[in-house]
Structure 1
C-alpha cells in the first residue's frame, strides 16, 4: 500500500515520518509532480495537478476540519474525501470560545485598558440570563463548544441544518428557524461549514437580528462574514464588538481596518490547530478499517459540502 502526503505551505516531512512509524507496512512519501500514484493521500490545500496525476487514488484525508478548499477542485466521483473527526481540535475550540465569551461578558478588555492607564475601576456585574450564546453549527466542534458554554450557566442556543437534541442547549434547525435563533442570541459563535449556501451568511441582515449589544465570535471561515457589514453594525452601536480568528485573506493585510478597530479583537487562525500525532493515529485507524471493508466516520457528502 502506498500513502502520499501533499501539503501547500506546510512541510510534509514530519507527517511522512510519523505515518511511516505508525503504519510500517505502508510505503509513505511526500508528493512531487510526476510521482507514482498512491492508494491514499493525506492533504492540505493540494493543487489540481496532484488530483489529476493521482489516478486510482481511493481516499483523500484532509488534515483540517473544513473541506471547502478540496471541494473546489475537480475530483473524480469515486474519490472519497474524509475529514478528521476531532484529533484534539474540539477541546481547543471550546477553550478559545469560552475564553472569548467570558472575556466579553466580564468586560476584561475594559479592565485591561483601565489598568494600563493606572485606573482602579469597577463595573457592575452582568446577568448571565441576559447573555444567551448562540452556537451556529453543531458538528463535532460546535457540539463540544455548546456543552462547554453550558457549564458556565450561560443560556445556550444551537443552530444546525438538521435537527439536533443536546442536553442544556435550546436547539433550532433549518433555514426557517434561523431568524428565531438569531433573535434569541446575544453572543453569536459561528462554526458553520463553508458551503455556497453559507458563504456571506454573516451579513447586515442576519447580524442585525442579534439582540442589541450583540457580539460576534467567528472561528469557522472568513468567507462567512461580510466584513464591511460587521464594521457598520459595530459603529452604529447595534453590535458591541467581535473576536475574529478567520479572515477572507490570511495573513490579514496590515492595512485591514480590523487591526485597528477598538472593538474588534484579531487572532491569527489559532482557535483550533491540527495535532499531528492524534491526527495520524486517526488516519491510520481509518485506513485499516477501510482495508477490512468497514464503514468510517468523517466521509464528506460533496452535495452538502461537509
Structure 2
C-alpha cells in the first residue's frame, strides 16, 4: 500500500527557510513516502494526509480534503490559528531540543549584552574612547521571564546558573528549581516590580496581544544598577506596542530593548528601530532551527500517528498554543 503524501507549504525567502532545502531534508527522512513541495500541481490534493507548513497563505490548507495532521515548522502558531478555514485536524507545534537550545543562546546573549553594558562599550569603541564604567555582578540583576513553557524554563535555568536572580511569570502555576515563579493576573505586578531585565517568550493569544506596552513597562523595577529596565522580546511581534516602546525609550521609562520580532515582517527600512541607539534588533532568527532535526521530528510524529500512538505537542485551540 502506498504511503500517504506529505505536503510542504513553506513561504519564507531566507536562507534557512529555503523551500528546496526543506524538501531535500524531508525526502531523506521520509523514505518512500511522497513529499510534495507546494504550491504546484504535483498530484491529487486528496492524496495529501499530512502537511508541514511555514507561513501558509490563509485558505491554502483547506484545499486538502483528507488532511489528518498539520505540522507547524516554527514555534508560533498564532497565524495558523487565525485562519478561519483551517481544517479541523490536530495542529502540532515544534518542540525539539535544537530550537530550545538556540532560544536559550539568544536569551543569554542579550541578557549578558545589556548586563555587561555592551551598547556603551561598542559606542566607546567607535569613538575611540577609553572610559570603562563600574561593572556590577550578575547577582545584582533580576531577570524576569514571561512565559515558562519549554523555552522559558530552559532559559531561566541557564541564567540562574550564570548567577542572575531569576523569576518567571506564566498563566498557570509552575515550579522551577531556583526560580521564583508567579502566575496569573493577580501576581503579574509583583513579578514586574522586581524585574530589571524582562524577557518575553509568551505565545501570541487574544489575552497577550499588545501586552508589552507603556502600562507594563512603568511597573518594572526602577532600582537596577543599569539605571532603567530593559526588555527583550523573542516571542511574537504582536505582543509589543511598538509606538509605546519607542516613546518609553525616549523618555527613560526603558533603558534599552532587544527585539527579534516585529508587528510587520520583514521590518521596513523606514522603521525607527533600525537606527535607534537603544535598540538591538535581529531579523526573527533567535531560534531558527536546523531543518534536519525538525524533519526527523515530523517523520517520527507521523510514524507514531500511523502506529496508533498519541501525537506530541498538539496545540490546544482553546488556549491558542
Kindly state the Cα deviation for residue 214 of structure 1 after the two structures are TM-superposed.
Answer: 0.5
> For 1:31, which of 38, 58, 66 is the aligned residue?
38
> SS state of the match for residue 153, structure 2?
helix
CA distance in 2, matches of 1:110, 1:48: 44
CA distance in 1, matches of 2:88, 2:266: 34
CA distance in 1, matches of 2:100, 2:84: 30
CA distance in 2, matches of 1:129, 1:15: 43
Q: Aligned in 2, Cα 1:236/1:48: closer, same or farther, shift over 3 Å? A: closer
Please say if residues 62 and 87 of structure 2, whose CA atoms lie closer than 8 Å, have aligned partners that are also in contact.
no
> SS state of the match for residue 235, structure 2?
coil
Q: Aligned in 2, Cα 1:26/1:113: closer, same or farther, shift over 3 Å? A: same
TM-score by length of 2: 0.91
Please say if residues 61 and 82 of structure 1, whose CA atoms lie closer than 8 Å, have aligned partners that are also in contact.
yes
Q: Does 1:221 align with 2:236?
A: yes
> For 2:83, which of 73, 76, 85 is the aligned residue?
73
> For 2:270, which of 255, 258, 262 is the aligned residue?
255
Please say if residues 241 and 264 of structure 1, whose CA atoms lie closer than 8 Å, have aligned partners that are also in contact.
yes
Please say if residues 119 and 278 of structure 2, whose CA atoms lie closer than 8 Å, have aligned partners that are also in contact.
no
Q: 2:225: which partner in 1? A: none
- Pairs within 5 Å for 1:84-233: 84-212=94-222, 213-233=228-248
TM-score by length of 1: 0.95
Between 121-130 and 136-145, the greater mean CA deviation after superposition: 121-130
Kindly state the Cα deviation for residue 54 of structure 1 after the two structures are TM-superposed.
Answer: 0.5
> How many residues are paired up?
306
CA distance in 2, matches of 1:266, 1:77: 35
Q: 2:8: which partner in 1? A: 5
CA distance in 2, matches of 1:230, 1:51: 36
Q: Deviations over 1:175-226 (max 9, x none)?
A: 2111111112110000000011100000111111011211000101111111
Instruction: Specify every segment of 5 or more residues in structure 1 that has no aligned partner in the other structure, as ranges.
Output: none
Q: Deviations over 1:144-169 (max 9, x none)?
A: 11111111110001111111111111
Please say if residues 61 and 87 of structure 2, whose CA atoms lie closer than 8 Å, have aligned partners that are also in contact.
no
> SS state of the match for residue 239, structure 1?
coil
> For 2:297, which of 282, 285, 297 is the aligned residue?
282
